[in-house]
Amino acid sequence: MNKHLDISYEVGSAQAMGLPIVALESTIISHGMPYPKNVETALMVEQTIRDAGAIPATIAVIGGRLKAGLTQEEIEYLGKMGRNVTKASRRDLPALVAWEADGATTVATTMIIAHMAGIQVFATGGIGGVHRGAETTMDISADLEELAQTPVMVVCAGAKSILDLGLTLEYLETKGVPVIGYGTDELPAFYTRQSGFGVDYRVDSPAELAGLFRAQRELGYKGGMLVTNPIPEQYAMDKAVIDAAIEQALAESRAQGIKGKETTPFLLARVVELTGGESLESNIQLVLNNARVAAQTAIQLNI
């Protein structure tokens, strides 16, 4: 085991007993939602995974230690600290470890630590991707590169709809990352169930998902697999409403000169404001939905 990694008692016990485990990111706690809703949601997602028959492993960096599995107190701490905690991508891990600092893990770093801890399945909200205007800014999330090189299945509600979804799919295709639609032939767009873009393959059960991932691992592929699971219909937002909010948020971010890793938190927070909080409720429900599918798939991988 890596000397910088701490595996919680619950997660370590689950591994010893051969129980299914699902990794969870922590950026959604510190940067994705306001306190105390962020803590409530994080604990609710963990409970959803337990109720489905698996063990949750929320991942973060605390005091320079890579954590696979957090206590309730640690989740509360990250929630209260909010954006004062570093939003940690791949490039940040060495500095956080060296300086014994705290970091909330993005999709990329959650994949790294999950793989380090021997966890195969990870549930999140939406992945990062190619930002709009990336042909001039080169603003492309490290999540995509991590999917190309780290063998973890990521269950999400598609790429965040603030992104250029077409270019995101093109990038994933170039990197050889399979994009799977869970019960859909079309890429979900986070707040909405359709994007107008197709997926590589459709599957309709956790057993099928487990079979695909098992085959990919047995073939020796080094990369991961992206499973896109549409937001439940009753929580999906009207496409015209969310598109208008995103366009306004994008215009404001450009006017304020917001760039780099601060872009996504700003846009998501502004969309919440512009939709009167409706997008926050949608965000919570899609994460819970992804947690259920990830737990069911982790169970099938253990069979």
Catalytic residues: 25, 160
* Beta-ladder partners of 56: 22
Q: How far apart are CA 252 and CA 267, in angstroms?
A: 9
- 8 close to 67: Cβ distance less than 8 angstroms: yes
- 34 close to 268: Cβ distance less than 8 angstroms: no
Beta strands 103-105 and 5-7 are unpaired
Which is nearest to 162 in space by CA: 84, 79, 272, 26?
A: 272
Q: How far apart are CA 298 and CA 161, in angstroms?
A: 27
Q: How far apart are CA 89 and CA 274, in angstroms?
A: 28
Residue 92 Cα to chain centre, angstroms: 17
DSSP 32: I
117 CB-contact burial (10 Å; exposed 0-12 / middle 13-18 / buried 19+): buried
The label of the residue with tokens 């603003």 reads 139
Distances (CA, A) of 104 to 27, 32, 231, 279: 5, 11, 24, 22
